[in-house]
A and B are shown apart, each in its own frame.
Chain A
């Protein structure tokens, strides 16, 4: 059954692309980009939103990047995205980074077939656009919004500067500290965006939200206070004593 196979999007570095070696199976779509580092994390999450089951990034093995650091940028993005995916309740294996060179031992087709089989076994459910569970869709949308968050993107973009250099106060950030910081922001941002997506159409109370997000009401309230400051959310109306919150349209 064709439709039972996972749909896989494969982004491929143009410099690792080799015409006669790339004959992927029909459930895999190969999209060439000039470097896998060029991929916006949001674009990758969008793939899941639009019904892809898994995303493979195929690029040149460091240090062989045509753009010097593109593959390392991709590595960073993938690390962050895996975290986001697991928060969204999807298997982090749905994103895979493959180092590949058209002249090295295993062919591209080998890599991709291996991954497709792995995916067929591992992925518990296939994401189908029309039937996508609303809960899952909420999560994916939240992840997408989180990936486009300013703070997170600044941190992601400046990793090299922050971990290899010193900041204006002459402080040095170790890789572990940075990872912790990024994880922290990813988590917070995901929760906030989830609250935002949930309250977009229906005003919800803190209690409802804490059930949906799976956090203590106090923690949710803390996020809501923060979000109100950022003009992301506002009190819609009171239901008895309980305030119901609704997301605000972005300016």
Chain B
């Protein structure tokens, strides 16, 4: 990691890896799953981030959106594959990881045991730093533990993955509140040489409409947190959830599960603009949650201090705003009421301004944010870094993981006295298999990727698991492996490293190679001689197999070698 950041490297990444904020080596673990090497696959994931099982469940999988296979039929179910290997690894290996010996003396403090903080701790521990994570809540995990309901992300999964980080030698101190029990100065006094602030956005945004103080109005973050803490939460009969993000969906589904008879999501834009994952929205509807679009609350009406109804306005979509989504415009006189006894605002989260030291605050921002250098995550105070939701606004787990990784590199460079900015701007080029995206005939979807968990008895489960494994392998085989090299295939004869070589004397410029090559790597140059673009060539050898004059040969697996491979055992008989 540190080596890669010292020079300005030009990397070629497959689209999935490039799309991932944490740059997880998707291609490598998918091809390891193809070959049934599950443990190695998890190791590959752990190399890049510490939460294979968590991300396998709740990641919004930008990798799948970027997948080159979408040009052929549909993306490889990368997230499901990750969940699959992570679960198998958990079942098979009960061995704890060994603590990593401390190579460095400089202590690092990390505030907040959420995805960003834990990732930074994990990366720094791997580098050999003594790391202490401070967490306000009783258990580490942050929003992963306290905001995502159990039916999406089981608590034991979070427990396992945080324990893994603990086992590596990271100290996690829970029940310590930043700004109250510890401060930047006190940490400095205690001998911490660097601090990473990853306190996240813990406060739910307010509706700012009349009636918000009524009994029965509970913010989604508080609602979900109380449930995660095991508190008794009273849920009304008719619940309105305001907002269209994942927390809104989570809150609605949780309320439904807690016994609410009718749960309605009120969202001010149209369905396409909903920030929640489409699959989650579909799941919510399956649970019986109603979704009302193009409505915004105007006021909450109460009686005796309790919510009785919510008054809303109809909206229509106007011009796109700076976020690219069309702005909702209220329709005059369209007030209407919903009879409800509970309102859950789920409009987004804010950082708690009282937690952020004054010297770090971004004065220009309207909401409390820490101003950082987006490349290095440095704050105005040297030795203090910040990242994750607190700096970028509420985002996703995988983005927080990406920030954690970035912070770890910065802290390492800072503590070793190197230039923190040096070589950080990576010049990444995407590779892709697909020659002419427009020309490819899209085949119809063939697979249902997100299968439901069935209820089975023990005998059926064995069969089911076997089938699951076969399905996972099949899914993994759909990967086109567009990257330059898959790690597991290294050092074999069939490594992607094979290359086509053109004999310029023999080549007559017939252009067959250009037609045959699936990746557009072969082309005639102005002298009518075939040229192979090495960046695009995947070494499949199809040009060598079809070249009419045998001008193209492969470096490793030549035609002659194939013949020897095939014939030697037969001749021996």
A interface residues (Cβ-Cβ under 8 A, vs B): 2-3, 7, 9, 11, 14-16, 18-20, 26-27, 29, 31-35, 37-43, 46-47, 50-52, 60, 63-64, 66-70, 73, 77, 101-104, 148, 150-151, 153-154, 156-158, 160-161
Contacts and interface: CB of A to CB of B under 8 A. Distances in A.
B562 A39 contact: yes
B31 to A, nearest CB: 9
Nearest to A102: B473
Nearest to A14: B494
Contact of B477 (A42, A47, A101): A101
A22 B48 CA distance: 34
Contacts of B498: 34
Given A7-B570, A101-B474, A103-B474, A150 B549 contact: yes
Most buried by A among B498, B516, B542, B547: B542
B52 interface: no
Interface in B503-561: 510-513, 515-516, 518-519, 538-542, 544-550, 557, 559
A22 to B, nearest CB: 13
Which of A2, A101, A151 is the most central at the interface, judged by chain B CB atoms within 10 Å of its CB?
A101
Contacts of B567: 9, 29, 46-47, 50-52
B382 interface: no
B540 A70 contact: yes
Contacts of B381: none
Interface size class of B (residues with CB under 8 A): 35 or more
A2 B443 CA distance: 46
Contacts of B104: none
Q: Give the residue among A16, A51, A148, A158 with the most B Cβ atoms within 10 A.
A: A158
A34 B518 contact: no
Contact of A153 (B471, B474, B547): B547
A69 B433 CA distance: 11
A68 B443 CA distance: 12
Interface of B: 34-36, 72-73, 433-434, 443, 470-471, 473-474, 477-478, 480-481, 493-494, 498, 510-513, 515-516, 518-519, 538-542, 544-550, 557, 559, 562-563, 565-567, 569-571, 573
A153 B546 contact: yes
A152 to B, nearest CB: 8
A29 to B, nearest CB: 4
Given A68-B72, A103-B471, A157 B566 contact: no
B566 A66 contact: no
Contacts of B36: 18, 20
Contact of B540 (A9, A37, A102, A157): A37
| A-B complex: 8 closest residue pairs judged by Cβ atoms | A157-B512, A153-B548, A31-B566, A38-B541, A68-B518, A157-B546, A103-B470, A103-B474
B548 A154 contact: yes
A69 B566 contact: no
Contacts of A69: 518, 542
B573 A70 contact: no
Contact of A68 (B480, B559, B569, B570): B480
Contacts of A27: 573
Contacts of B539: 34
B515 A161 contact: yes
A103 B477 contact: yes
A96 to B, nearest CB: 15
Contact of B73 (A19, A60, A63, A70): A63
B566 A68 contact: no
21 contacts: A15-B34, A18-B36, A29-B566, A34-B494, A34-B540, A34-B541, A35-B540, A37-B545, A40-B545, A40-B546, A50-B567, A50-B570, A51-B570, A52-B566, A60-B477, A68-B480, A73-B542, A77-B545, A103-B474, A153-B547, A158-B512
